Amino acid sequence: MRPDLFEAPDYYNLDELLTDEHKLVRDAAREWVKREVSPIIEDYAQKAEFPTQIINGLAEIGAFGPYIPMEYGGAGLDQISYGLIMQEIERGDSGVRSTASVQSSLVMYPIWKYGNEEQRQKYLPKLASGEWIGCFGLTEPDHGSNPSGMVTNYKDMGDHYLLNGAKMWISNAPFAQVAVVWAKNEEGRIHGLIVERGMEGFTTPETHNKWSLRASATGELIFDNVKVPKENLLPNKSGLGAPLGCLDSARYGIAWGAIGAAMDCYDTALRYSKERMQFGKPIGQFQLQQKKLAEMITEITKAQLLTWRLGVLRNDNKATSAQISMAKRNNVDMAINIAREARQILGGMGITGEYSIMRHSMNLESVITYEGTHDIHLLITGLDITGLNAFK
């Protein structure tokens, strides 16, 4: 892969909306991605391996629990800093951002919000430092968009719970030490359980042959009569709203992350269009190529504004789930379209690993599907504005 020459576009001077702390956090993440992720990520994507050597660095830039209080090892930052970190990481690779999102929003968040003090003390500092990696088990082979239909279940055996079932498409599963697993109790109510690697009957086979998020490890979680200690149940929230609360936080981070992938594709295509000569001119001088680039920067700018405003609402605890759905859907769609157009600007070179665009493009096929598909988020907006439920 070529040297990383990334320069972030800021067409509407949005930096003026950021505090000094936001800019410090973002610039540290940006520099780290240039130094530690860009030089190796193409090789790891080609090998279909997660680069475990970057785990300590992710922890150091605050990517594990950016908004978790410092007393639990988190970075104690606000929601805009959290978003900016996700943007910068996904500028490098959506798979690396997925690992950070899962760790922060889907593992640390539920332990912090729904766990008791002992659970917070036991797990959060180790997850914040990257000593432990976590995963989040909601999706099942027969229940993806409709997780309420899940069949994974646990029974109260007196001194422990007995967990049975299977989860599929779980990011970080193959190497995670800890899994936050959503399962139904004997009354059919959904609860979160913390399952640890090494518990008898718990296995995590890896999912192979992915053409997308190749630098992120994905796997199954299989529970065959797993004895889970009673103290591993998250006591403070149950029902589908519990996992959906985690997804709100992760989807918000994805809305920012997608901007990072789009910025990288745009920046690469813009630079290429000024250097690549055809018919005696740089291809950026042709109107058709300018149309593509002008539309890209317009869409990126709109997404930046949407997401910044959402961050302000999140900081004030005012953002609704439907507002988050709109931003996730809009920004990932924006990024995938930009990746496709940017790839065309690079002609044949666009399909090679010399440039990041094809990798972003393939990664975004997962990002548009996970954490609620493109269509599901549209239906959430539809339900919000009409009051009429298309899911029933």
Question: Which residues are annotated as catalytic?
Answer: 371
Binding-site member from 53, 145, 278, 290 for ligand FAD (CB under 6 A): 145
Assigned token pair, 165: 């079932």
Does position 169 interact with ligand FAD (CB under 6 A)? The reply is: yes
Whole-angstrom distance, CA of residue 334 vs CA of residue 327: 10
Binding-site member from 99, 133, 371, 380 for ligand FAD (CB under 6 A): 371
Does position 376 interact with ligand FAD (CB under 6 A)? The reply is: yes
Does position 176 interact with ligand FAD (CB under 6 A)? The reply is: no
CB of 329 to ligand FAD, least distance (A): 11
For residue 182, the number of C-alpha atoms closer than 13 Å in the C-beta half-sphere is 30
- Cβ–Cβ under 8 Å, residues 267 and 11: no
Does position 375 interact with ligand FAD (CB under 6 A)? The reply is: yes
Does position 11 interact with ligand FAD (CB under 6 A)? The reply is: no
- Cβ–Cβ under 8 Å, residues 29 and 81: no
Strands 202-203 and 218-229: antiparallel
Whole-angstrom distance, CA of residue 386 vs CA of residue 146: 21
CB of 294 to ligand FAD, least distance (A): 31
Pick out residues in 111-140 that bind ligand FAD (CB under 6 A).
Answer: 135-139
**Closer residue to ligand FAD (CB): 221 or 327:** 221
For residue 106, the number of C-alpha atoms closer than 13 Å in the C-beta half-sphere is 32
**Closer residue to ligand FAD (CB): 361 or 366:** 366
CB of 188 to ligand FAD, least distance (A): 19
| DSSP alpha helix (H) spans, the chain | 20-32, 38-47, 55-60, 79-92, 94-101, 109-114, 117-128, 241-275, 287-315, 321-345, 357-367, 374-386
Q: Which amino acid is at 131?
A: E
Binding-site member from 104, 323, 331, 366 for ligand FAD (CB under 6 A): 366
DSSP letter, residue 210: -
State how far Cα 388 lies from the chain centre.
29
Pick out residues in 77-106 that bind ligand FAD (CB under 6 A).
Answer: 102
Strands 277-278 and 178-184: unpaired
Contact flags string 195-214 toward ligand FAD, x per CB under 6 A? ------------------x-
**Closer residue to ligand FAD (CB): 267 or 371:** 371
**Closer residue to ligand FAD (CB): 216 or 356:** 216
DSSP letter, residue 108: I
Which residue stretch of 118-126, 265-273, 281-289, 373-381 sits at the interface with ligand FAD (rule: CB under 6 A)?
Answer: 373-381
Q: How many CB atoms lie within 10 A of CB 275?
A: 9
**Closer residue to ligand FAD (CB): 139 or 361:** 139
Does position 368 interact with ligand FAD (CB under 6 A)? The reply is: no
Binding-site member from 94, 103, 171, 304 for ligand FAD (CB under 6 A): 171
Does position 272 interact with ligand FAD (CB under 6 A)? The reply is: no
Does position 369 interact with ligand FAD (CB under 6 A)? The reply is: yes
Residue 87: left (phi > 0), alpha (psi -120 to 50), or beta?
alpha
Q: How many CB atoms lie within 10 A of CB 131?
A: 14
Whole-angstrom distance, CA of residue 174 vs CA of residue 125: 21
Whole-angstrom distance, CA of residue 147 vs CA of residue 143: 5
By CB under 6 A, the count of residues binding ligand FAD is 22
Does position 327 interact with ligand FAD (CB under 6 A)? The reply is: no
**Closer residue to ligand FAD (CB): 301 or 373:** 373
With CB atoms as reference, the residue minimizing the distance to ligand FAD is: 144
Residues of this chain that bind ligand FAD (CB under 6 A)? 102, 135-139, 144-145, 169-171, 213, 218, 366, 369-371, 373, 375-376, 379, 391
